[in-house]
Amino acid sequence: MISSLIVLITILVLGIPSAIVFIPLAVITGDVSDLYRAVCFIVRAAMRTGGITLQVEGLENIPVGRACIFMANHISNLDPPILISYLPGRTAAFAKRGLFKIPVFGYCLKLAEFIATDREGNVEAAQQSVAQAGGILAKGIHITTFVEGRRSSDGRLLPFKNGPFYLAMESGAPCIPISIYGSEKIMPYSSPRIHPGTMHIVFHSPLDPAGYATRDELSAAVRAAIASALPHWMRN
C-alpha cells in the first residue's frame, strides 16, 4: 500500500506541472518530443521512489537508426509504461480505445500518435490500425505491441494476435522480441496495488520479416524468442 501511494504522489507532483507546460507546447509546436521525454522521466522516477528495480538485458540488440516493432509479452499493468519509458528513441503503441477517453491522458496518447484498438476483432478496424502503424514506422518512429493482445491472468504466454505480424510482413521493419517477467509480482493481475520488487526486461536479437515465408512462421519465431528468457512456468 505504501509503495502505491508513493508512486501516485510522485506522478501527481511531477505530472501536474509537466502537463501544464508540455501539453500546450506540444499543441503549439506540433512536436511531442518534450512531452514524451517528460512522461518517460516521470514514470522512471515513480518506479524508483516506489521501490521498483529494473534489470534490462540486450539493449545492444536494437538496431541504430531504424524504426523497429517491439513485441513483448504482457503480465501486468506496469508493463506498458515501464517498457516504453526505457526504450531508446520514441515509440507509439497499440492501446485499448477506452484509454483514449480518459481526460488529459487520452489526449496525450493522441498527441503521441498511439493507435486505438478494439478487442471485438473487427477486420476493417484492424486493417486501419495496421495501416496507421505502418505510416508511423515510415516516419522513423518505433511501434510497441503486446502481442498477446491482453494481460495474461496467470503469467503464462497466451496465443498471439495476428495484427502485429501483418504489420511486420507489410512494413519489413525489424521485429524485436521482448521478454518481461517479475512485474506480475509487483502489480498482480487482480490487484491495483504496487509492491516493491524487481522487473526484468530482455531484448532479443532482431528478426527480419523478409526471412520468413509467412506471418505464422514469424509469429512462431517471436514466440520462441520471448519464451526463451522467461521462467519455465511462464512459457506455457
DSSP secondary structure, 78-123, as one string: THHHHHHHHSSS-EEEEEEGGGGGSTTHHHHHHHTT-EEE-SS--H
b/e 86-124 (16+ beta carbons within 10 angstroms → b): bbeebbbbbbeeeebeeeeebebbebbbbbbbeeeeeee
Is the pLDDT at 183 greater than 90? The verdict is yes
Mean pLDDT of the chain: 94
Question: 157 is written with which cell numbers?
Answer: 504466454
Question: 210 is written with which cell numbers?
Answer: 523478409
Q: What whole-number distance in Å separates Cα of residue 91 and Cα of residue 67?
A: 9
The per-residue pLDDT for 69 is 98
The per-residue pLDDT for 119 is 67
The per-residue pLDDT for 126 is 75
Q: Tens digits of per-residue pLDDT, 83-117?
A: 999 999 999 999 888 899 999 999 999 999 999 88
Identify the band that residue 236 occupies on the pLDDT scale cut at 50, 70 and 90. confident
Contact 189, 76 (CB under 8 A): yes
Q: What whole-number distance in Å separates Cα of residue 163 and Cα of residue 118?
A: 12
For the chain, where are the alpha helices, taking DSSP H only? 2-29, 33-49, 79-86, 105-111, 123-138, 163-171, 183-186, 215-228
Map out the domains of the chain with their CATH numbers.
53-234 (3.40.1130.10)
Q: What whole-number distance in Å separates Cα of residue 123 and Cα of residue 79?
A: 27
The per-residue pLDDT for 144 is 97
Q: Tens digits of per-residue pLDDT, 209-229?
A: 999 999 999 999 999 999 999
Is the pLDDT at 205 greater than 90? The verdict is yes
The per-residue pLDDT for 122 is 66
41 CB neighbour count, 10 Å cutoff: 13
- Arithmetic mean of pLDDT, 115-140: 84
The per-residue pLDDT for 132 is 92
- Arithmetic mean of pLDDT, 164-168: 94
Identify the band that residue 9 occupies on the pLDDT scale cut at 50, 70 and 90. very high
Q: What whole-number distance in Å separates Cα of residue 8 and Cα of residue 178?
A: 27
The pTM for the full model equals 0.93
The per-residue pLDDT for 117 is 86
Q: Tens digits of per-residue pLDDT, 62-79?
A: 999 999 999 999 999 999
Q: What whole-number distance in Å separates Cα of residue 87 and Cα of residue 59?
A: 9
145 CB neighbour count, 10 Å cutoff: 28
Q: What whole-number distance in Å separates Cα of residue 89 and Cα of residue 101?
A: 26
